[in-house]
Amino acid sequence: MSKSDSTFSKSQLDLLKQFKKQISTGQTQSKSTPKQQKPAPVAEAVQQNDDLALFNKEMQGVKAIDNSNIAKIEPNNARKKPDAKTLAKRAAAVGPTETEHAELSDTHAMLNPVASQATLSYRIATLQHKVFEDLKAGNIRWYEAVDLHGCTVEEARTAVLEIIQIAKNENQNVIKIVHGKGPEAILKTYVNSWLRQHRDVLAFVSAPEKQGGTGAVLVLLKRAEKNPKFSQDH
């Protein structure tokens, strides 16, 4: 259609052209700037699904651990020390036992006091040197320990006898006795004397620093089966 045939005036044609141009421009911009969409990580999603499926397959039949039923395991040589007063009271309640007939004189202790920082050391003549050195170095695992802090002399005596008897009953031959190292070293002096007199003690020595140092002794006992006083009925 020519301009002469058109029923529109020039101004109307100009407006129509402008309108068409705007429509055309809008369509072009719409095509050139489509809505940005984050591409879906298809490969990653597939891999995660595969891993999850494999994990679930491997875990079939596996039950979660019941934490309430897990026993606490103590490290070696870190057993909880029984209370000496409790041992003394238990011995008194049970009545006279074999341990109470042990003759442990205090005369030796009174005549031979030891210093608080002194290193205690004793062994019978027939004990092998290597065994004593292993005891001295803390290389022999001790079975049980007793802490005498806060005890009277009599309570400490009973506790020492009781812990030795417990070890014998369990056929164990190494115990630890914590006597402390107070300024007057009273309990340390008595322990040193009592252990030298006890027929079941083969040797004792101040513990290595990491196991109590001069505040404790490691004691080597006769094995129960070698002890003529041991009863299999215990």
Tens digit of each residue's pLDDT (9 = 90 or more) over 218-232: 999 998 665 555 444
Tens digit of each residue's pLDDT (9 = 90 or more) over 154-166: 999 999 999 999 9
Residue 58: per-residue pLDDT: 66
CATH number of the domain encompassing residue 212: 3.30.1370.110
Backbone angles phi, psi at 223, to 5 degrees: -65, 145
Dmax over CA atoms of the chain, in Å, equals 146
Average of pLDDT values for 68-72? 47
Residue 75: per-residue pLDDT: 44
pLDDT band at 146 (very low <50, low <70, confident <90, very high): very high
Residue 54: per-residue pLDDT: 72
Backbone angles phi, psi at 145, to 5 degrees: -140, 155
Residue 18 lies in a domain: no
Residue 223: per-residue pLDDT: 83
Residue 135 lies in a domain: yes
Q: How far is 108 from 192, CA to CA, in rounded Å?
A: 9
Residue 189: per-residue pLDDT: 96
More confident residue, 179 or 227: 179
Residue 57 lies in a domain: no
Residue 153 predicted with pLDDT over 80: yes
Residue 87: per-residue pLDDT: 61
Q: How far is 174 from 204, CA to CA, in rounded Å?
A: 9
Percent of the chain with pLDDT over 90: 44
Residue 111 lies in a domain: yes
Q: Which residue has the tokens 């070293």?
A: 185
Helices (H) and strands (E) in the chain, counts: 7, 5
Average of pLDDT values for 126-147? 93
**Chain mean pLDDT for the chain:** 76
Q: How far is 115 from 58, CA to CA, in rounded Å?
A: 65
The segment with the largest mean pLDDT, out of 21-30, 120-129, 143-152, is 120-129
Instruction: Please count the other Cβ atoms lying within 10 Å of the Cβ belonging to residue 82.
Output: 17
Q: How many domains does the chain have?
A: 1
Residue 90: per-residue pLDDT: 55
Domain that holds residue 168: 84-226
Percent of the chain with pLDDT over 70: 55
Residue 13 lies in a domain: no
